[in-house]
Amino acid sequence: MKKLTFFIALFTASISIINAQKKQVTLEEIWGGEFRGEYMDALQSMKDGEHYSVLDFNKASRSTSVNKYSYKTLQKTATLVDSKDIKDISYFSNYAFSSDESQLLLATDITPVFRHSTLGKYYIYNIKTKTTRLVSEQKIQEPTFSPDGTKVAYVFENNIYYKNIATGQVTQVTTDGMNNEIINGVTDWVYEEEFAFVRAFEWNKTGTKIAYLRFDEANVPEFSMDVYGKSLYQTQHVFKYPKAGEENSKVTLYIHDVKSRKNNQVIVNDYEYIPRLKWTKDTNVLSFQKTNRHQNKLDLVFVNATDFSTKTILTDSDPAYVDVTDNLTFLSNNSFIWTSEKDGYNHIYHYSKSGKLINQVTKGNWEVTNYYGFDDKKEMIYYQSVENGSINRDVYAININGNGKKRLSSKTGTNNATFSNNFTYYINTFSNSTTPNEFTLNSAKNGKVIKNIKDNSKLKAKVANYAVSPKEFSTINVNGNDLNMWMIKPLDFDASKKYPMLMYQYSGPGSQQVANRWNSANDYWYQHLAQQGYIITCIDGRGTGFKGRDFKKVTQKELGKYEVEDQIQAAKQLGAKPYIDASRIGIWGWSYGGFMSSNALFKGNDVFKMAIAVAPVTSWRFYDSVYTERYMTTPQENASGYDDNSPINHVDKLKGDYLLIHGSADDNVHLQNTMRLVEALIQADKQFEWGVYPDDNHGIYGGNTRLHLYKKMTNFIKENL
């Protein structure tokens, strides 16, 4: 027995020596980009289905180019445009083809507006003649080729224009655009943020008509943020932001006729939002989606673009809410593909052009997580799902009649596909918790790997030199549910010792943090903390996604109740393990996660020793209408739902150590949330730490900011956990 004990001790000592010889992950390396992997930027399949294009950056010449590659060989076959060859352009950051791929729109001098929207200078580049034409002298938004490639439509100062490329003639479609009052052709703040689209105009397939949305936001309350900058006096950024229960923009639908230059309003009844526009395969039939304020009834409506009459084709309803997606696909006969949770899980459906159900294409107690497209020649649908476990993603093909399903991806982890235009090939991006992104060329017929493109082997080799602990996946039964969980332990973990534990979570409706994919920047931070002797844990509780509608929507009207109960109970159960010090459990989160970590510390004051909340929502009364009311209805209808789980109303329970962080220019979760919570804490005579990052938005980044933030959080953890 003594000899066995000696060898075990010797083995443990040897492992410790090996681990000690490995490098430690530093904060400077994480936020200095040392662990960034390789990607394929702005990849687009080209029309012939045999080639793809990529935006490349040449370090030597400091120029950008759009290069054409062969799927078969993966070799570059042509440089379509290079900024070093264009007199007026030193670089471009994105590109878009005309439908016949003879022209490119090149984006330069881009300025962010909000999360998705930008202003920029755009050039039209003719690939054959190698000539360049500026679309507009001013910075514009969302330039888009007409289908025949003769015109470019765009938005300038809230009005829609289009330019004849050959003659240079500019036609103004709308004239009433005005800042903070009327917007034509692009969305307002809340549509952009919560319905995830910016361009609110669409050409029909012949380029003879433009459908567009008009936003009247005159009665939407304004929100203002101080911008400190470097001048003597601060300025203010003022924009329209409808908080929960407040007035939204009045949105109307129009169709512009290019020949007559007339704008005709489409009369839409019984709606609050129009979150999607899309022309069908019929040049004179427009589709749009409308939903009520509660977002629990979504209609697909067809518009006759000759007489502007409307017809509701399909209605999807749910006791909680119906998600808006980009999955709607019209087939050549104007039948269409649609996704819905109506059987309890998100699945693919095929409807006739009149809205009659032809068949449910996918079925099962699992979720379709991405819809890739339809091959009309093979009549095959391509999609991504969690059939191989809710923390994994796989790529599948299935006949439109629901038969002949094939799993195309083969490795367990996260697989995502970008298909060629003719669905002959796809580029698969694969990763899991131990493998950085691998890019492979695959056959769409059977998923077979044809060639490797990039495998991030250099990054994998670099990480191998560091003392990195594996991410252990498991489930934990909490409050009657098997919840997905991961845990990172110190590399020299000793089960006979007790360790402090930091829990991370987000928990927003339909979200997922426990996923089998490669490291995010936060994961490297967790490795840094594990090297300091901490166990890091993440648990996806009730309300998170990819386990069916009932699991996701149980939090309806009570955001912050069940999610917090799950985190508190999970902490108690983990704290009972012999290797976790139950007196040293902390929790942190960002945004919705900050809302959660604050509530967990206050309500679970006998469980959590400390918490960090970054950019937290502290009352859903302060957040925007579209997101909040989707899950909570309005404050006027559900006051207790808003107030019972607001951290502001539980500050009296604070016992542990609390760090509160926010950016002063957060246009999403306003600094108001932190200020109101701070005042409540002060009046409750509760001590806490807090910091405000000047002129930083919801992401709190830029320059040295992220490094500073994570140093602050790391120091707080070391001092208080």
| 506 and 399 belong to one structural domain | no
- Whether residues 451 and 511 share a domain: the answer is no
Residues labelled catalytic: 591, 666, 698
Block residue for tokens 């393990």: 577
Using alpha carbons only, give the angle 492, 497, 503 rounded to the nearest 5 degrees: 80
In a domain, 320, yes or no: no
Q: Verify that 395 and 474 share a domain, yes or no.
A: no
Residue at 46 is within a domain: yes
Q: What is the dihedral of CA 459, 464, 467, 473, to 10 degrees?
A: 80
Beta bridge partners of 240: 222
Of 455, 470, 505, the residue that ends a domain is: 455
**Same domain flag for 439 and 489:** no
pTM of the entire structure?
Answer: 0.94
- Identify the segments of the chain with pLDDT beneath 70: 1-20, 42
Question: Is 540 found in the same domain as 396?
Answer: no
Is 304 among the domain residues? no
CATH code of 564's domain:
3.40.50.1820
User: How many distinct structural domains can be found in the chain?
Assistant: 3
Nearest to 570 by CA among 630, 489, 673, 480: 480
Does one domain contain both 506 and 400?
A: no
Identify the CA nearest to 322 among candidates 638, 630, 551: 630
Bridging pattern class, strands 336-340 and 329-330: antiparallel
Cα separation, 664 vs 225, whole angstroms = 8
Please state, in angstroms and rounded to a whole number, the distance separating the CA atoms of residues 254 and 182: 14
| Cβ atoms of residues 192 and 117 within 8 Å | yes
pLDDT score of 20 = 58
Write down the residue that tokens 């470019």 correspond to. Answer: 152
Q: What domain range is 547 assigned to?
A: 15-34+460-720
Residue 683's H or E segment, with its range, is helix 672-683
- 185 sits in the region (left: phi over 0; alpha: psi -120 to 50; else beta) called left
SS3 30: helix
Contact in structure between 374 and 381 (CB atoms under 8 Å): yes
627 located within any domain: yes
Q: Which of 426, 455, 484 is the last residue of a domain?
A: 455
Determine the 3-state secondary structure of 564 from DSSP: helix
Per-residue tokens: 254: 């129009």
Strand 499-504 versus strand 580-590 pairing type = parallel
181-190: pLDDT as tens digits = 999 999 999 9
Are 377 and 516 in the same domain?
A: no
Q: How far apart, in Å, are the Cα atoms of 538 and each of 356, 389, 409, 444, 513?
A: 44, 17, 27, 35, 7
Cα–Cα distance for residue pair 348/536, rounded to 1 Å = 37
Give the three-state DSSP class for 707: helix
244 domain residue, yes or no: no
Give the separation between CA 223 and CA 544, rounded to whole angstroms. 30
Report how far residue 613's alpha carbon sits from residue 691's, in angstroms, rounded to the nearest whole number.
11
Q: Are residues 630 and 523 in the same domain?
A: yes
H or E, element range at 4: helix 2-21
171 bridge partner residues: 162
* The predicted structure's pLDDT at residue 13: 44
In 3-state terms, what secondary structure has residue 526? helix
Report yes or no on 547 lying in a domain: yes
- Asked whether residue 422 falls in the same domain as residue 488, the answer is no
Specify the residue for token string 């191998």.
Answer: 464
Distance CA 103, CA 97 (A): 6
- Please check whether residue 315 lies inside any domain of the structure: no
Which domain CATH number covers 364? Answer: 2.120.10.30
Whole-angstrom distance, CA of residue 506 vs CA of residue 657: 20
Compute the distance between CA of residue 289 and CA of residue 574 in angstroms, rounded to an integer: 46
- Which of 122, 136, 128 is CA-nearest to residue 102? 128
513 and 394 within one domain: no
List CB contacts of 480: < 8 A, sequence separation 6 or more: none
Of 282, 268, 267, 367, the closest CA to residue 327 belongs to 367
Residue 195 lies in a domain: no
Within 13 Å and on the Cβ side, how many CA atoms surround 630? Answer: 18
d(CA 434, CA 430): 11
Sign of CA dihedral 470, 441, 75, 145: negative
Q: Are residues 580 and 687 in the same domain?
A: yes
CA distances from 509 to 419, 512, 628 (A): 29, 9, 11
Rounded CA separation 261/82 (Å): 37
Task: Determine the pLDDT at residue 395.
Answer: 98
Does residue 470 share a domain with residue 440? Answer: no
Domain stop point among 419, 434, 455: 455
First-to-last C-alpha distance (Å) of the chain: 38
